Amino acid sequence: MDLKLMIYLVVGATFALYIGIAIWARAGSTGEFYVAGKGVNPVANGMATAADWMSAASFISMAGLIAFLGYSGSVYLMGWTGGYVLMALLLAPYLRKFGKFTVPQFVGDRFYSNTARIVAVICLLVISITYVIGQMRGVGIAFSRFLEVDLLWGLIAGMGVVFVYAVLGGMKGITYTQIAQYVVMIFAYTVPAIFISLQLTGHFLPQTGLGGSLSGQDGMYLLNALDQTLVDLGFNEYTTNRNLSTMNIFLLTMALMIGTAGLPHVIIRFFTVPRVRDARKSAGWALVFIAILYTTAPAVGAMAMYNLIDTFHPGGVGNPEAAMVYEDRPQWMRTWEETGLLQFEQEGDGERVHYYNYKNPPAWTEEAELDGYTVANLDRDIMVLANPEIASLPNWVIALVAAGGIAAALSTAAGLLLAISSAISHDLLKGVFMPKISEKNELMAGRLAMVAAILLAGYLGLNPPGFAAEVVALAFGLAASSLFPVLMMGIFYKRMNRQGAIAGMLVGISTTLIYIFLYKGWFFFPGTAMLADNPDGWLLGIAPQGFGTVGAIFNVITAYVVSKLTAPPPKEIQDLVESVRVPRADTA
């Protein structure tokens, strides 16, 4: 069957499924709208959390980044999984015990202050909106690529689908839809990986295939072969490549971990399980489902890189007379060339494409006649989507990957929109400004806030303030430096008071924002960056992406000092903290 028709069929079928589920599980009450009526089983909740959490960045970008970064790509693997340990141990059980709907509500009640609640809402909005911009762009690119329409129409189609199931379904609808999306996503990710692992190494599991030996090359290990090939091309060894200093690797990994545990749309998930012990386990189940993709990703990256080099050098590296002939390049290269994400440049009248590290040409390039084509642009983000085509897998696998990428972006966008709408309707309107609002009007306000957020995110997704990866890194740094420290201190430090929490959040989020803006431009406007974004220009050598860790430290120090200088929290708040610390409160 024709590839394009196949993609329409598979993507269309998955959409019909999501929308059907959203209509079937329509939310009736405000409780169901925000937290699915607290009736979600921990395994199901874990699966939905995994879909919520794994966005276009995990599905589309990450393996491609790892393919080009090698060992350095590990920061994403560890950073985006290790945060669940912090979540499960330090936050989830206590927030579930507290038993409220939203993160700002916890902050407002624990710190007995509407100001604290409003500051938390502002942090939440800044984090979620920056994050959702990246997702909407991902949705738009995926739609426009596979439906072969303009980016604008791709975005509009994506906004329409998000609208239908997020706005109508609320949390209950989203939870069940996300379970379906997880299944689609994980199939789409693992099926091609298994195919490729079998092709290259004969291992069924990509996790062992990556450490396996290449089929038909007398015991040569895949990673050794890849290391050797990359060195022959003038690049660094795959398994030891480092593009950042050890300190920056540490800070970036830490920022991603703390940021994960501070993301409001993920935290909110642990409000939806029946009991405290389910909250402890639920984070574990979420990580099980995430780990299936995250342990497969390094194999996808390395094998895609190996296959890609093989495509460029069918006669082996160092044998330019046998390099790929430009006119005979595979169909997938022609398709991606149209998007501009893959570009070749003609340098002379030769007919072959020569791919090596142009900045550090290896010795064999000096004597050879290399007057053909060069690879002018090879975008990392195309690796996962093009991977099944690079390995010449059947059309239905390619269509499945398209559906998976769209599912990843949509599920995360929906979860973020829900967090935004509950912050506005539940925390700002019901909690602070209009306490007497009826349940029906509150639901309506939540839905209107979602519509506004979809429109804003769609607009900014069309005119993004920076690369999607930069926007995502900012969202993590902001979450790490603002919400996580305050939530943790609220549970583990009884003496923490209103003044300390407010000061901590403000100092954490503003130092991180300013540091990022100094290097990336004020509000990401191009040309407004005041310092050079490279290791020489970084203050104390700290990369902006990793600054969230430093912001979190500032947050904790400020909160501690300010709380010591001001009055301790009232008795009933200290009792509240006591009761949050034990699973069963009725004995208090």
Partner 1 sequence: MNTKLQEQRSAYWKANLRILIGCLIVWFIAGYVLPIFMVDVLNLISLGGYPLGFWMAQQGSIYVFLMLIFFYAWRMNRLDRKFDVHEE
Among 74, 335, 357, 365, binds partner 1 (CB under 8 A): 74
Q: Which of 101, 106, 271, 294 binds partner 1 (CB under 8 A)?
A: 294
Closest contact distance (angstroms) between CB of 475 and partner 1 is 21
> Which residue in this structure is represented by tokens 């994506």?
158
Bridge partners of 344, per DSSP, are 375
User: Which two structure tokens, joined as six digits, stand for 111?
Assistant: 């710190």
Nearer to partner 1 (CB atom), residue 120 or residue 287: 287
Q: Is 585 exposed, middle or buried (0-12, 13-18, 19+ CB in 10 A)?
A: middle
Question: Is residue 250 within 8 Å of 542, Cβ to Cβ?
Answer: no
Torsion of CA 351, 357, 359, 360, to 10 degrees: -120
170-178, 278-286, 361-369, 534-542 -> range binding partner 1 (CB under 8 A)? 278-286
How many binding residues for partner 1 (CB under 8 A)? 53
Given the complex with partner 1, which of 118 and 573 has the nearer CB atom? 573
Q: Evaluate whether 296 touches 206 at the Cβ level (below 8 Å).
A: yes
Among 157, 185, 249, 418, interactor with partner 1 by CB under 8 A = 249
Is residue 546 close enough to count as binding partner 1 by CB under 8 A?
no
Residues 260, 25 contacting (CB under 8 angstroms): no
Tell me, what DSSP letter sits at residue 541?
G
Cα 415 to its chain centre, rounded Å, is 12
* Interface segment toward partner 1; rule CB under 8 A; list 2-10, 80-88, 262-270, 466-474: 80-88
275 binds partner 1 (CB under 8 A): yes
205 binds partner 1 (CB under 8 A): no
Distance in Å, CB of 47 to partner 1, minimum: 15
Cα 383 from Cα 475, distance rounded (Å): 24
- In angstroms, the CA 222 to CA 214 distance is 5
Q: Which of 140, 298, 431, 544 touches partner 1 by CB under 8 A?
A: 298
Stretch that binds partner 1, among 87-95, 98-106, 344-352, 544-552 (CB under 8 A): 87-95
Among residues 160, 211, 316, 570, which is the contact residue for partner 1, using CB under 8 A? 211
Residue type, 264: P
Among residues 90, 231, 325, 451, which is the contact residue for partner 1, using CB under 8 A? 90
Both tokens of 144, joined, read: 């426009």
Q: How far apart are CA 325 and CA 250, in angstroms?
A: 43
Applying CB under 8 A, which of residues 116, 123, 159, 287 lies at the interface with partner 1?
287
CA distance 170 to 414: 9
Is 495 one of the binding residues for partner 1 (CB under 8 A)?
no
Is 571 a binding residue for partner 1 by CB under 8 A? The answer is no
Smallest distance, partner 1 to C-beta of residue 579, A = 9
List Cβ neighbours of 180 (8 Å cut-off, separation of 6 or more). Answer: 14, 17, 18, 21
Q: Does 88 bind partner 1 (CB under 8 A)?
A: yes
Q: Scan for tokens 């329509």, then name that residue.
A: 26
Region for residue 216 given its phi and psi (left: phi exceeds 0; alpha: psi -120 to 50; beta: otherwise)? left
Shorter beta-carbon distance to partner 1: residue 146 or 294: 294
Complex with partner 1: residue 138 or 209, whichever CB lies closer: 209
Which of 16, 89, 455, 532 binds partner 1 (CB under 8 A)? It is 89
Residue 587 in the binding site for partner 1 (CB under 8 A): yes
By CB under 8 A, is residue 246 in contact with partner 1?
A: yes
C-alpha–C-alpha distance, residues 146 and 117, integer Å: 42
Enter the tokens of residue 259. Answer: 């940021």
Q: Choose which of 77, 261, 268, 516 interacts with partner 1 (CB under 8 A).
A: 77
| CA distance linking residue 533 with residue 517, whole number of Å | 11
3-class SS of residue 539: helix
Query: What is the full DSSP assignment across 455-477?
Result: HHHHHHHHS-SS-HHHHHHHHHH
- The pair phi, psi for residue 382, each rounded to 5°, is -90, -10
> How many CB atoms sit inside 10 A of residue 126's CB?
17
Residues 357-416 that bind partner 1 (CB under 8 A): none
* 421 and 453 Cβ atoms separated by less than 8 Å: yes
Please identify, using beta-carbon distances, which residue of 291 and 432 lies nearer to partner 1: 291
Determine which residue in the list 115, 199, 243, 295 makes contact with partner 1, applying CB under 8 A: 295
The residue from 78, 205, 434, 451 that contacts partner 1 (CB under 8 A) is 78
Q: Which is nearer to partner 1, 91 or 406 (CB)?
A: 91
Q: How far is the CB of 202 from partner 1 (least distance, A)?
A: 13
Q: Which residues bind partner 1 (CB under 8 A)?
A: 66, 71, 73-74, 77-78, 81-82, 84-86, 88-90, 93, 207-208, 210-213, 221-224, 239-240, 246, 249-250, 253-254, 257, 275-277, 280-281, 283-284, 287-288, 291, 294-295, 298, 578, 581-584, 587-588
